[in-house]
A = this chain, B = another copy of it.
Amino acid sequence: MSGLSNATRFETFGIWCVLIIAFLGLGYALILRRQVMKYDKGTEKMQEVWNSIKGGADAYLRRQLKSILPLIAVLTVLLFFSVYIVPPSEEATKRFSNLSEDNVKIIIGFARAIAFVMGAIFSLLVGQFGMRMAVEGNVRVASASRRSFGEALKIAYRTGTITGMLTDGLGLLGGTLIFIVLGIAAPDALLGFGFGGTLLALFMRVGGGIYTKAADVGADLVGKVEAGIPEDDPRNAAVIADLVGDNVGDCAGMAADIFESYEVTIVSGLILGLSLYSLTGELKWIIFPLLVRGIGVLSSIVGTYLVRGSKKGDALKSINKGFYTSAVISLAAFALLAALYMNEWKAFLCVGVGILLAVALDEVTKHFTDTSHRPVKDIAASSKTGSATLILRGLAEGFESAVWQTVVIAATILSSVLIFWGQDVHYVLYGVAMTGIGMLTLTGNNVAMDSFGPIADNANGIGELAGLDKDARKVMDSLDATGNTTKAITKGVAIGSAVIAAVSLFGSFLTDVSKIQIGMGAKETIFDTGIRVSSPVVFIGMLIGACIPWLFSSLIINSVTRAASLIVNEVRRQFKIPGLLQGKVRPDYQRAVDICTVAAQRELLGLAIIAVVSPLIVGILLGVEALGGFLAGVIISGQLLAVFMANSGGAWDNAKKTIEDGAHGGKGSESHKAAVVGDTVGDPLKDTAGPALNPMIKVINLVSLLAAPILIQYKSTDAGMLVALGICAVLIIGAIVYSKKGGFRKSNAQDSEDIAA
């Protein structure tokens, strides 16, 4: 490995092994793909339905690409030229000490730009390829369900595993590659890699979330509530958009989100590992996270391949068996690593705490959102006095769940403090990053479990629309129910890992700033002075930071309701077409798909600008310490708000299910109507606004990391800074206005033109 002359042969060997494992994971994904594609796509009617879904999915992906690419291009160029403002780090100069200063600049500029593009493309790949696979898989699952339960389960799970292994493989590949090529100069490029990944994840999360919930809420409001027809009824014009939405939101959005957490934890793990390396000269702190990741991928391959089953009830058991097999293999291997390589157990303990954290978060999520526990039962019971009390009860439970989830996160950080008691703060921060690494060890399994949900859901929808027979429908129903459970479990992990990753990034921010300060010859670094909220300016930064998640959520909820009302009007209009409600005329599914596609893209730019520009404004105006306060504010308020929205939404969803399963009067009762209102309120909270905060928090952290060197070196009174501030201010005001108006020049009438185009 270049630039790390003191690597032992074992270490060099280990790193190359990790690289090979990354390719192994990707190869495994390709093998699974070939396996899945061999299966048949069923009857003509099934393929007709499927073609509509596929068409809608393709249209969405194409349009998304079109609206994202220009921004990616601009940012790539900016990152390349950034070396002329933010010079390469000291480590980079050391690493390329044989080259002239200008050449180092060009190399590092390229490294930043390429890493950014790589992060973006990988994130895009995971989302888009994963979603395309899900679309390929669902019709095959539906077809197989006519033959056997075991076959349907295998196809569904393996299709999900493809996305899982892509997440694993690409995440590991990127980090390892950058580390192998750049060595101690890696942080320069790692940040670009992380930024590309999170930015794309933000786009896919927000776009996917708006799409899926606009379709879902819109379809439910007219279909279930107004017209009283069942879910997935072919007469509802929004039904195909709804099925596309499951893929767009739950597959592409969720996969990109988890990929990004996976990537960011390794990025911050490596940056904090490098800081320990400069502190101690021990390379093991950087090698360890990479090896842990490699082991995780290997054990995921083994565990996921074991999942199969032949009869109902087997599904969840088999999926869990796969998960636990992976967990046991990894833990054993980690222990070996600690004993034989690390010669200490502290890093291992942190990884272990990470796994425990995943379990604890899972338990909290389950307690507050599962039908078998008190909160959901209470919420369902409060439907007896109407939707208002049901909603209040759900809000209260969601608030409380955010508290316990946050306490668990606090306990995790405390564990790291205790494990590295009496040691330098760098160790503690490293420990937190290792917790994140540990938590995401089994990402392959997690993403597989999560993608399983929308695949089974879509298969079920195809079954309904294509009118498959009862037995096949029963198989699909059972898979669908399993999918709802696995989806809920991974959601808790996604939020928790996002916060831990954000805290690690916050740690990297401190490390980074202190390094620059040392480089500038400052007497005190930020580790000596700290981010002092007792300083009024830092307190102001924190206040503003705490606002950002609320602003973001507000804009997102509004865009979902705006898009949903367009869908409602469209479906209502089509209901009036003579013969449609009698099932004689086929509705125009395409228009509803187009409405969602347009709505989902429209808000992206405004929201992305808020995430990218707001830390710059705070940094330029109030300085780097206040920016630290800003980050703390974003993390803390984002965590509470995200969990509240996710869990209130989940609890309402399940309260509705409880009633549909017969409690409090069952389907069609007044209680059920109240529960449907609760579920509809919860939908955009749990599937759009809540999850969108995960990548948002990290985009803000990464932008701050990237901008820190400029902010420290220049004063806010410099002319250049004033110009930058002006541009930032214009951008952010524009973004807020743009988002609130739902895009410039976009009246509903113009919308229709857009959609027609």
Stoichiometry, copies per complex: 2
Q: Which of B386, B530, B558, B644 contacts A393 (CB 8 A)?
A: B558
- Give the complex CA separation of A637 and B542 in angstroms: 11
**Cβ-defined contact, B568 with A385, below 8 A:** yes
Q: How far is the CA of A542 from the CA of B221 in the complex (A)?
A: 41
Q: Pick the contact of A543 from B409, B425, B542, B543 — CB < 8 Å? A: B409
Given A406-B544, A632-B539, A677-B677, A392 contacting B531 (CB threshold 8 A): no
Closest to A567 in B: B385
CB A623 to nearest CB in B, in angstroms, measures 12
A417 interface residue per 8 A CB criterion = yes
Interface status of A551 (Cβ within 8 A of chain B):
yes
Q: A611 near B: Cβ within 8 Å? A: no
Q: Once bound together, how far apart are the Cα atoms of A351 and B410, in whole Å? A: 39
Contact between chains at B535 and A530 (CB < 8 Å): yes
Q: Is the CB of A543 within 8 A of B396?
A: no
**Chain A, range 514-548, C-beta contacts under 8 Å to B:** 526-527, 529-537, 539-540, 542-544, 546-547
In the complex the two chains form, is B640's CB within 8 Å of A385's CB? Answer: no
Q: Is B221's CB under 8 angstroms from A388's CB?
A: yes
- Quote the shortest CB–CB distance from A674 to chain B (angstroms): 9
Is there contact, CB below 8 Å, between A534 and B510?
yes
Contact with B along A392-427 (1 / 0, CB 8 A): 110111011011001101100110110000000100
User: Which of B534, B565, B640 is the one whose CB lies under 8 Å from A389?
Assistant: B565
- List B contacts of A676 (CB < 8 A): 388
CA distance A113 to B404 in the complex (A): 36
Return the chain B residue nearest A678 by Cβ: B388
**A631 CB, min distance to chain B CBs, angstroms:** 9
Q: Return the contact of A542 from the options B400, B561, B632 (Cβ within 8 A).
A: B632
Query: How long is the Cα–Cα vector from A685 to B396 in the complex, in angstroms?
Result: 10
Binary B-proximity of A354-393 (CB < 8 A = 1, otherwise 0): 0000000000000000000000000000100111110111
Q: Which of B399, B416, B526 contacts A554 (CB under 8 A)?
A: B399
Report the Cα distance A532→B510, complex, angstroms: 12
Chain B nearest CB from A35 CB (Å) reads 42
Which B residue sits closest to A633, measured CB to CB?
Answer: B636
> Does A560 make an interface contact (CB < 8 A)?
yes
**Interface residues on chain A, number (Cβ under 8 Å):** 78
Chain B: minimal CB distance from A690 (Å)? 12
Check A543/B410 contact, CB under 8 A, given A221-B386, A432-B536, A536-B428: yes
Q: Mark A672-686, 1 if CB is under 8 A from B, else 0.
A: 000011001100110
Q: Is A159 an interface residue (CB 8 A)?
A: no
Query: Of A392, A432, A540, A554, which is in contact with the most chain B CB atoms at under 10 Å from its CB?
Result: A392
B637–A397 CB distance below 8 A:
no
Contacting B at CB under 8 A, from A479-515, are 503, 510
Q: Is the CB of A640 within 8 A of B547?
A: yes
- In the complex, besides A388-B681, A414-B540, A530-B534, 8 extra interface pairs with C-beta distance below 8 angstroms are A217-B388, A221-B385, A388-B677, A395-B554, A403-B547, A425-B535, A429-B536, A529-B530
List 6 A–B pairs whose Cβ atoms lie within 8 Å, in order of A's numbering: A393-B558, A407-B547, A428-B536, A531-B532, A546-B637, A637-B637
Chain A residues with CB under 8 Å of chain B are 217, 221, 225, 382, 385-389, 391-393, 395-397, 399-400, 402-403, 406-407, 409-410, 413-414, 416-417, 425, 428-429, 432, 503, 510, 526-527, 529-537, 539-540, 542-544, 546-547, 550-551, 553-555, 557-558, 560-561, 564-565, 568, 628-629, 632-633, 636-637, 639-640, 644, 676-677, 680-681, 684-685
